[in-house]
Structure formats: C-alpha cells, structure tokens
C-alpha cells in the first residue's frame, strides 16, 4: 500500500461518523460500514439498535449484514451459502469497536473478507480481546478472517465516553451523571498488538508504524497513524466521502434537510488531534452534551 | 429468602452478636441448610447429573480448572464505623446490588479491622468492573440520601483484591480468609448449587416432549413452509410456565436466521408490542429486559453466534439435547459459564435416550443435516 493507511482511515472515519449520528439519535455510538473492496464502494451502514428494538443481538454488524441481504443478494440466493460466501469474500467491515463474540461468529458464517476495527472490546470482544473467534479451530477454520484493530481507536473511545455521560434508561445500570473531567481523562491502553499479530502481519497492515511503540507495558499509549506520525480527523472526512454513505437521510432521523458540511465540522470538533502518535490534549473539544445544550439554547432563542 | 442470603453474606461470623436481627436470620438459614443436607439420591455429584436426565455443563469441569487456586478480582471497599453498617447495608441493597455484575455470596461483605472498642469494618462496595474509577463510586456515594454514607471521603475508599472463586475444602477457604478476605464456606459450591437448583423433572420432560412435537409437526409441513434444518427453540417464562416464543431454523431466508436468533427476535417483538399497548393505556411499565429470567429449550447445542446471543439476552437457563461440533455452550468455549464474560446462565444437556432417538428420527427426514453444521 503506497498511501499507508490513508484508505483505512478514510473508511473508518465514515464508520465513526455513522456512530456519531447514532449518538445524536440517542443510540449507542457503535457503528460500522461494509465496503466492496474492489470498487471501494460503501455497500451498507449499521449502528447499534439494541435500545430501540429491545433485542440484545441487534448490533451494528447485523444491521449492516441485513442491509446487504436486502439490497444486493437476490432473495432466491439468500439460502445459498456458497453464493453468500463468495459475495462477502469481497466485503471489508470497518467497525468502530471490535466485533463481539456473536458478531465475530456471524461474520465467519457469511464469509467476510476482513474486519478493521477501532478500539478493543474488553467485555466481549471476539477478535482477540476476550476470544479469538476470527482465528480459531472450529469448523476446520472455515470462514476465518483477518482482523486489524487500533484504527481511529482513541476517537472511538471518545465517542463512547460521550454516550456514557448521557443517561441510558432502558438498561439496568447505575446512573452515572455527567463526568465533568470527561475530556481530560486518560485513555485506556491500546489493543495488544504484540499478542495479536506476528511482526510480519503487523508490518503488512500497519505499514508505517513502529511495532515497538505498542508494548502493552508502556506507560504512554501510542496510536496508529495513517502516514507520518500526526493527524487531524478532518483530513480523512469530507462532504464527498460522507455523501458516499447509503441512506444518509436516515442517519439524520429521516429529516430531508440537513447540512452535511456543518455536521462534519461539529463531528470533528468532538475529537483531539494525534501528534507524534499520541493524543494531543491541548485542543478544546466539545462533548455531545455541549451540543445538546447549544441546540436547546438556539431553539429557545429562535422561539 | 434472598434477603436472608444477602444478609448472611454481609456479616462476618465474628460480628453476628452485635446484629440481633441478622443473628436470628443467619441461625435460621443455618438450620435450613442442615435440613437440606440429607441424602440427595437424584443427584450424581461426580458427573453433575440430576435425575439421570439433566447434565450440568461447566466451564471449569470441561477445562479442568483447579478450584483451589484463587482467581483474584478487584473490588472497591470502604472503611466504616460500626454504627454505619446499617446504612451501608441499605446503600448496597438499593444502589449496588441491582446493577452489580459479580456475585459476592461466597465472601463476607464486611471484614472486622482491629479489636476492642474502637474496631472498624471494611465493607465491599462493588466490583471494579461496575465502577472503574474511585471518582465514579464517590459520585454515587455523595448523591446518596443518608449522611452516614454520603459523607464518606476519598481516603476511606480503597481497591482490594478478593478471590472470585470458592475452594473445595474448608481448610483452603480458611487460608484464603486469612490471606485475602473473609470467605463464606458452605461446602463445595457446585455440590451446593446442584442441591439447591429447582427442577420439576416431570414438567421438564413435558417441555422437551413439547419441543420435539412442535418440531415434528413443523417438519411435516409442505416444502416451502418447512424449517430449513430440523432445529427448534422454545422460550419459556418459568414463573407461569408460559411459552413466550416458538421458532425454527430458517436459513433458507437468511443464513443467520438460526432458531435461537429468531427466538430472541420474537421475544423482543412481543415485548415491544406489549410496551406500546401498555403505554396506550398509560399503565406503568413493568416489562422484562431482553430475555432476563427466561428459560430456553432448544433441540441442538447452539452455535457460537447463537450462544453469545443468549449471553447478550441475559437468559436464566438453557437446555438442549444434541451436542454439536461447532456448538458454543459445551463443545467450544462454554459461553454460558465464563468468568470473562459479563453474563452467565445455567447450561444443561438433556440426556434421555428416547427423546434423543426421537430427535434423530426427525433429523433423518433431512438428507443434508449433519453434526458439523452451525445451528
């Protein structure tokens, strides 16, 4: 890859943007896109729908898979396992959080080409954090797929933090009210690259990153960067790329009028920049709570 | 009963005399334990089989985990004066227990620190997985209505490590009590579980029959209406024995529409409907959360995807008949019984020959069905 991880970062920033739209629609900000690897076209998007459906299995991956079945696989081929596998052998999943054990198994069963994810999922990650479903011995290794984490992972974590300061009243969990220090809190360690990949595998995908930075016992947590050692999210997302997303109006709650340019600007304002492969806390970022307050105020002013 | 259990886990034996009420409760529960300790001819403790029909599936048994090596877990604990314990117990019951992912019935909730008149107590607030930072737990504490709790300060709170498992002998339990934290020892914990688990074996048999009957009927349908594979799942509310969903394998329509995934979807849709109706009549919600508390009966050991779907759905128990090569409950991973996942449920395999025979007869109507498939 001559452009380093530029393509991967562009795709992941779209998944992150979908997750951000989910958050604005009061859903859990975990999202994914599925991309045809040959023509670099976004085939489908999905975000977590467990709150809305009351179904704990409606994870982003399932929504995106179902959308592909609806749009691209003829009805009479839905039951044709070989047809389905050959279709998904050209599809790459970009998901903001590591697929869980359930999704990892589902992705294997449909024969996904590859998964790229943001942050690890230490509660039920199925691509290496808790179990390694994507690379195990079950079913004679049939459907096993490669999986690469750490792409825009601090951004994925930051988005989740925005969610946990909102109240989620459908799940039985303690009410943790807004944490004022949310934007200054340190990030959790990066994924355990050393145990997940051989050095060849690492170099193959994370072309321009130094594997030695990612020892888990380091005090400082380094981030994967696309090319060079610094970036801002706004370099990887634009009106043009966002317009590649199918069902864009749906991400805006079905509204017909929305300003993508302004929304991308807001989206980018939620994240820190990365400098020298570390999160640079010097920038002032917004939280979704700030945005809601701002919108309420603007609405009041207009009324 | 729950309350008694809760109290018992809270109070170390050395302190019982100072809690008159709890003393009485603990005495009673100890008497009850003795009554239960008579013979249990229906349990094979060695094989973990009940009534010769239900085999318990345990991660530790399949993976030969040594129960006598402590597996330590982090918890938050706080230093209390004796007069604060009542408020502490209330705080735990109201604000922690409903959300706590870990159970602490195997340890004493309180530990005595020092002797004489000025003794203190260390009480376990919650697991570190519930609140990952001290600030979070402090925020909850400071919001509590009772000043005995809300005035607690940061220096009273500490993170400590306690064993998350229970050893098999009293000696080792005492050793761990000295070394880590006071443990409650009521005999080998799984033996205790097998004694206490409630099965009306006649009704279980009826339910398995029902499961096989609905599958048989469905497979006799015309080709277009038949299940794709001869696999069925029913979900039961154990409180009123009502069947809340019946589903079959349907992968002809979608390769991931296995019967368990469809069962989860059906229950969710029913719940959604009933919530809409209830809100139309403006009645307070008293609805279920996912499949919490429900029991799943399924003909074949679910695949990894479906097994993890059951974990996400927070079921109470699953019973299946036929183990499968790519299954996720017994053959691989034991997903219902793992310490590293945030939800566990009871996993049982139904052993009765005649029912398995009947299942295999139904399977034979399907030429393509084999043991390797993900169901």
Nearest CA to B56 out of B161, B151, B197, B237 is that of: B197
Per-window interface: B 211-270 vs A, CB < 8 A: 228, 251-256, 261, 264-265, 268
Residue B357: which residues within 8 A CB-CB, separation 6 or more?
Answer: none
Q: What residue in A sits closest to B255 (Cα-Cα)? A: A79
What is the C-alpha separation between A283 and B99, in angstroms, rounded? Answer: 36
Q: How confident is the model at residue A134 (pLDDT cuts 50, 70, 90)?
A: very high
Spell out which residues of chain B touch residue A69, defining contact as CB-CB under 8 Å: 254
CB B133 within 8 A of CB A181: no
**Lookup result for tokens 């996912």:** B290
Nearest-Cα distance to chain B for A98, in Å, is: 15
Question: How far from each other are the two terminal CA atoms of chain A, in whole angstroms?
Answer: 53
Q: In what order do the strands lie in the sheet with A146-148?
A: A41-47, A31-36, A91-97, A114-119, A146-148
DSSP letter assigned to residue B184: P
pLDDT-wise least confident of A97-106, A155-164, A268-277, B259-268: A155-164
Mutation for B interface: A49, A56, A125, A130, most B CBs within 10 A: A56
pTM score > 0.90 for this model? no
Q: How confident is the model at residue B97 (pLDDT cuts 50, 70, 90)?
A: confident
Mapping DSSP onto H, E and C, the string for A4-24 reads CCHHHHHHHHHHHHHHHHHHH
Nearest-Cα distance to chain B for A32, in Å, is: 18
Spell out which residues of chain A touch residue B264, defining contact as CB-CB under 8 Å: 55-57
From A8, A27, A61, A223, active-site residue: A61
CB B197 within 8 A of CB B346: yes
Q: How confident is the model at residue B287 (pLDDT cuts 50, 70, 90)?
A: low
pLDDT at residue number B237: 94
User: What ipTM was estimated for this complex?
Assistant: 0.91
What is the C-alpha separation between A22 and A48, in angstroms, rounded? Answer: 8
pLDDT exceeds 60 at position B121: yes
What is the C-alpha separation between A52 and A58, in angstroms, rounded? Answer: 9
Query: Which of B96, B251, B303 has the CB atom closest to A105's CB atom?
Result: B303
Antiparallel, parallel or unpaired: β B120-127 and B110-113: antiparallel
**pLDDT, tens digit (0-9, with 9 covering 90-100), for B157-207:** 999 999 998 888 899 999 999 999 999 988 888 888 999 998 999 999 999
Q: What is the CA radius of gyration of chain B?
A: 24
Between the alpha carbon of residue A141 and those of residues A105, A138, B48, the distances in Å are: 12, 6, 32
Spell out which residues of chain B touch residue A169, defining contact as CB-CB under 8 Å: none
Sign of the alpha-carbon dihedral angle for A104, A105, A106, A108: positive
Q: What is the number of other CB atoms lying within 10 angstroms of the CB of residue B178?
A: 9
Spell out which residues of chain B touch residue A105, defining contact as CB-CB under 8 Å: 303-305, 308, 328, 374
CB B347 within 8 A of CB B318: yes
pLDDT at residue number B281: 59
Query: Which of B95, B255, B342 has the CB atom closest to A174's CB atom?
Result: B95
pLDDT exceeds 80 at position A1: no
Q: Is A61 a catalytic residue?
A: yes
Domain enclosing residue A182, as ranges:
5-301
Q: Do A139 and B332 touch (CB under 8 A)?
A: no
Residue B332 region by backbone torsions, left for phi larger than 0, else alpha for psi between -120 and 50, else beta: beta
A66 in B contact zone (CB under 8 Å): yes
How many domains does the structure of chain A reveal? 1
Q: How confident is the model at residue A188 (pLDDT cuts 50, 70, 90)?
A: confident
B375 in A contact zone (CB under 8 Å): no
- Report the mean per-residue pLDDT for chain B: 87
pLDDT exceeds 80 at position B368: no
A12: domain CATH number is: 3.40.140.10
Q: Do A109 and B140 touch (CB under 8 A)?
A: no
A86 in B contact zone (CB under 8 Å): no
Strands (E), chain A: 31-36, 41-47, 91-97, 114-119, 146-148, 273-275, 278-280
- Report the mean per-residue pLDDT for chain A: 88
pLDDT exceeds 60 at position B65: yes
Q: How confident is the model at residue B349 (pLDDT cuts 50, 70, 90)?
A: very high
Antiparallel, parallel or unpaired: β B346-350 and B317-322: parallel
Nearest-Cα distance to chain B for A259, in Å, is: 33
Rounded to the nearest angstrom, the gap between the alpha carbon of residue A227 and the centroid of all alpha carbons in its chain is 20
A186 in B contact zone (CB under 8 Å): no
Nearest-Cα distance to chain A for B271, in Å, is: 8
Query: Which of A53, A57, A139 has the CB atom closest to B261's CB atom?
Result: A57
**Lookup result for tokens 């300790």:** B37
**pLDDT, tens digit (0-9, with 9 covering 90-100), for A80-108:** 999 999 999 999 999 999 999 999 999 99
CB A117 within 8 A of CB A103: no
What is the C-alpha separation between B371 and B375, in angstroms, rounded? Answer: 10
Domains, chain B, with CATH or none: 201-275+289-374 (3.40.140.10)
**Residue B234 pairs with which residues in a beta bridge?**
B246, B297
Phi, psi (degrees; rounded to nearest 5) at B61: -70, -45
**pLDDT, tens digit (0-9, with 9 covering 90-100), for A233-257:** 999 999 999 999 998 999 998 887 8
């Amino acid at each position: 890859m001559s452009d380093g991880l530029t393509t991967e970062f562009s795709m992941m920033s779209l998944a992150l943007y979908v997750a951000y739209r989910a958050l604005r629609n009061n859903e859990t900000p975990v999202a994914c896109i599925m991309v045809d690897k040959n023509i670099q076209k976004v085939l489908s998007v999905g975000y977590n729908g467990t709150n809305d459906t009351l179904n704990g299995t409606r994870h982003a991956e399932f929504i995106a898979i179902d959308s592909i079945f609806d749009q691209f696989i003829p009805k009479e081929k839905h039951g044709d396992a070989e047809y389905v596998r050959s279709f998904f052998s050209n599809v790459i999943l970009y998901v903001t959080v590591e697929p869980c054990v359930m999704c990892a198994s589902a992705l294997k069963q449909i024969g996904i080409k590859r998964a790229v994810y943001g942050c690890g999922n230490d509660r039920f990650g199925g691509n290496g954090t808790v179990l390694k479903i994507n690379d195990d011995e079950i079913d004679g290794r049939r459907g096993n797929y490669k999986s690469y984490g750490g792409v825009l992972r601090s951004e994925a974590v930051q988005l989740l933090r925005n969610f946990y300061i909102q109240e989620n009243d459908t799940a039985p969990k303690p009410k943790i009210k807004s944490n004022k220090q949310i934007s200054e809190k340190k990030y959790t360690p990066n994924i355990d690259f050393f145990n997940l990949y051989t050095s060849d595998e690492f170099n193959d995908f994370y072309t321009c990153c130094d594997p030695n930075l990612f020892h888990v016992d380091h005090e400082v947590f380094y981030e994967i960067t696309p090319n060079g050692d610094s970036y801002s999210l706004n370099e990887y997302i634009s009106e043009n790329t966002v317009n590649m997303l199918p069902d864009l109006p749906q991400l805006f709650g079905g509204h017909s009028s929305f300003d993508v340019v302004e929304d991308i600007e807001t989206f980018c304002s939620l994240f820190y920049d990365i400098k020298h492969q570390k999160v640079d806390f010097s920038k002032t970022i917004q939280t979704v709570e700030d945005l809601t307050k701002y919108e309420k105020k603007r609405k009041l002013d207009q009324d | 009963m729950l309350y008694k259990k809760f109290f018992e886990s809270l109070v170390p034996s050395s302190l019982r005399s100072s809690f008159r009420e709890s003393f009485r409760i603990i005495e009673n529960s100890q008497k009850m334990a003795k009554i239960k300790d008579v013979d249990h001819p229906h349990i094979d403790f060695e094989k973990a089989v009940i009534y010769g029909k239900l085999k318990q599936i345990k991660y530790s048994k399949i993976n030969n985990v040594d129960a006598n090596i402590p597996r330590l877990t982090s918890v938050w604990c706080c230093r209390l004066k004796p007069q604060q314990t009542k408020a502490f117990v209330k705080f735990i019951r109201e604000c922690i227990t409903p959300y706590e992912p870990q159970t602490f019935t195997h340890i004493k909730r309180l530990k005595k620190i020092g002797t004489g008149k000025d003794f203190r107590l260390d009480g376990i607030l919650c697991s570190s997985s519930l609140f990952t930072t001290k600030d979070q737990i402090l925020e909850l504490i400071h919001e509590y209505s009772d000043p005995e709790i809300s005035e607690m300060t940061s220096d009273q709170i500490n993170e400590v490590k306690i064993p998350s498992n229970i050893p098999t002998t009293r000696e080792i339990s005492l050793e761990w009590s000295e070394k880590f934290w006071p443990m409650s020892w009521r005999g080998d914990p799984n033996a205790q579980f097998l004694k206490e688990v409630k099965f009306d074996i006649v009704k279980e048999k009826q339910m398995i029959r029902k499961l096989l009957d609905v599958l048989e009927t469905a497979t006799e349908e015309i080709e277009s209406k038949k299940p794709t594979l001869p696999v069925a799942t029913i979900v039961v509310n154990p409180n009123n024995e009502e069947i809340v969903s019946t589903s079959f394998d349907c992968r002809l329509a979608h390769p991931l529409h296995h019967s368990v995934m469809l069962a989860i979807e059906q229950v969710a849709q029913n719940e959604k409907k009933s919530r809409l109706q209830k809100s139309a009549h403006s009645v307070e919600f008293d609805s279920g959360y996912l499949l919490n508390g429900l029991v799943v009966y399924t003909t074949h050991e679910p695949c990894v995807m479906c097994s993890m779907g059951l974990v996400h759905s927070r079921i109470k128990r699953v019973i299946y008949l036929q183990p499968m090569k790519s299954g996720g409950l017994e053959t691989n991973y034991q997903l219902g019984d793992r310490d590293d996942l945030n939800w566990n449920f009871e996993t049982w395999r139904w052993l009765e020959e005649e029912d398995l025979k009947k299942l295999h007869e139904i399977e034979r109507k399907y030429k393509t069905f084999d043991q390797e498939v993900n169901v």
